[in-house]
Structure 1
Amino acid sequence: MMNDATLRRIDLNLLLAFSVLMQERNVSRAAERLLLGQPGLSAALRRLREALDDELFVRVGRGLQPTPRALSIAPAIEDALSGIERAIRPQDEFDPATWQGEFRIGMCDNLESAFFGPLAARLLQLSPGARLIGIAAEKRDAARRLDDGVFDFSVSVHEEPASWHIRAPLFDQVSICIYDATQLRLKAPLSLKDFADVAHVTVSFEGNVSTGIDMALNRTGQSREVVATVPRFSALPMVLKAMPAIATVPESIGRCMAQLHGLTLCEPPLSLPADPVTMLYRRVDQADGRSRWFRRLFIDVANEALKASGCCVSIPRAAA
């Protein structure tokens, strides 16, 4: 265990002066290397002698001869200074091409459907030794699981973050209606009455039937009938293909579903609030080269995926 009282008597500059004096054995050359005047180096040497209660260096002719005490402590001081220098030197730039390990990302399944595949494909190109791990994450437990090291960052609609987290805005997630046109005949643009009269399917992890859509409908004097609720977005396309019903989903996954399953999209006939999708990560990882590279990769991939699907949003790269 370190002796704090002993260390308080010595600062790093004194140990550096000792190291250079051991190497040069000459006050003038040592002072030049340390960018000090000779009086300044002499004052530093005086403080060292007082702290260690030893002469340390004795003048012999034009040079300095270290005492036995100086010779005995020199290797340990050199090791300590070398360790400090290695610890504080600038980090090498992260090289994804040679890195081997895991990147872990937390997302709910609607965002996973939109972004995970393109992210995995790009990672395979840029970092072939890496593995991408997707973790199912809900906004209610994202912060706790982030602190537990379950993933590098979470992408979701997050609550107000703790002071040791960073919540970076990504994009506003608007809602879109989706249905199977072979099952359900609707005229575009969709009227409020048609929207309220048709059967609805909702997505809820906890099985909730009522959502913000019901509150928005109630303000217009309308109501709807929810005939089914599924716990995951991945189950929704098969439900819509099997029955005449409509669902209101986030635009990013809605456009993916429409492309993959031949479903039809339309704008909701009432104003629905957009959900702010954000990236949540630990403040201690803000400057880490590996973590920063992964966050920026996700933003680049997500922007391309949003653009390819037809979503009219973009993510600022500064979010990472």
Structure 2
Amino acid sequence: MADDPLLSRLDLNLLVSLDALLTERNVTRAAERLHLSQPSLSAALARLRAHFDDPLLARRGNTYELTPLATRLLEHTADALSAVRRVFESQSRWDPSQSTRTFTVHGSDYALTVIGATLSRLVSAQAPGVRLRLVPTSSMGIDDVLNRLASVDGLILPYGITADRPSMDLWRDDWVILAAEDNPRATPTVSLEALSASPWVFTYQTRSSFTAVGRQLEQLGLQPRVEAVVESFSLLPLYVAQTDRFALIQRKLAPRVLGLGGVQVCEIPFEPVPLIEALWWHPAHGNDPEHVWLRGLFAEAARDLQ
């Protein structure tokens, strides 16, 4: 319990000041953000500098820059502040109809398109004061959200990218090929030779962010020639139409992108890896009654998809 004396001497309001100062990098703007006087925030900065034995904000001409320590702290303050808020906002009894809480969920644009609107309607019907914040993720963003899962309410992600967090299955889907309407290689079931000879648009292509069927193409020895990477399934038609490119897209999303025109859907000439989308969350949320309620709405929305 060696940390207890240190924590007992700290004013947790300094965490709020630290977050504002590191984010704004300016005492005046940070004071305005917190509705404090500039002398009050200057005093808080002095206490923070004494605590960390570091200037935190270093003047460079007419601006301030973060010191190396402050840059490291910036990665943790937002998460720490969110965790503190969750502690003090927790209630033994929670009435969703009276709540004004904001739930933050990250996912690909495909996942948010498929389930987001239904989920939003359910939230609105049961808890009109609750706000749902749905955030599309990029390949870099997935790693970041996995590291910060304690500070968000959930991440919609297929199996295969992570396995060390609690999760619940949402829906199953499979894959089809997207091609231009006038692509001569786009037959009802595209041949492996056509897949190998054609250029591609991929959505995610990093070590920790990928589509399983994209990896499957490589394992079949096709080695797709990727001409473009766009981290959005909904934007794929713009990069496929009027070209000889192929792209992989989820079957549930295909009707929406076909409505944009200029593209068609073809079947894959092998059995693609099934896609199982799941909701992932941090173990700290396991018994949170508010989070349990949210997960129940996800389950209801997923049933509607079937």
TM range (shorter): 0.5 to 0.7
Residue 74 of structure 2 corresponds to none
Residue 191 of structure 1 corresponds to 191
Deviation digits for residues 78-113 of structure 1 (CA, Å, limit 9, x no counterpart):
xxxxxxxxxxxx954x43333222121111222123
TM-score (norm 1): 0.55
Residue 124 of structure 1 corresponds to 124
Contact 1:176/1:248, CA 8 A, preserved across alignment: yes
Gaps of 5+ in 2: 1-90
**2:156 counterpart letter in structure 1:** V
Residue 19 of structure 1 corresponds to none
How does 1:238-249 map onto structure 2 within 5 Å?
238-249=238-249
Contact 1:111/1:253, CA 8 A, preserved across alignment: no
Deviation digits for residues 210-242 of structure 1 (CA, Å, limit 9, x no counterpart):
941442331xxx554333222322321211224
How does 1:18-167 map onto structure 2 within 5 Å?
91-92=92-93, 94-137=94-137, 138-147=141-150, 149=151, 151-157=152-158, 158-161=161-164, 165-167=165-167
How does 1:257-296 map onto structure 2 within 5 Å?
257-259=257-259, 261=261, 263-296=263-296
Q: Secondary structure of 1:113's partner?
A: helix
Q: Secondary structure of 1:239's partner?
A: helix
Q: How far did 1:152 drift?
A: 0.9
Percent of aligned positions that are identical = 19
Contact 1:203/1:233, CA 8 A, preserved across alignment: yes
Would you identify which runs of 4 or more consecutive aligned residues in structure 1 move more than 6 Å?
A: 207-210
Q: Secondary structure of 1:271's partner?
A: coil
TM-score (norm 2): 0.57
Cα pair distance change 1:295/1:258, threshold 3 Å: farther
**1:99 counterpart letter in structure 2:** S
Gaps of 5+ in 1: 1-89, 308-320
Q: Distance in 2 between matches of 1:192 and 1:201?
A: 16
Q: Secondary structure of 1:141's partner?
A: helix
Deviation digits for residues 183-225 of structure 1 (CA, Å, limit 9, x no counterpart):
556322333233333332111265999941442331xxx5543
* 2:234 paired with 1:217: no
* 2:271 paired with 1:235: no
Number of aligned residue pairs? 208
Q: Distance in 1 between matches of 2:105 and 2:260?
A: 24
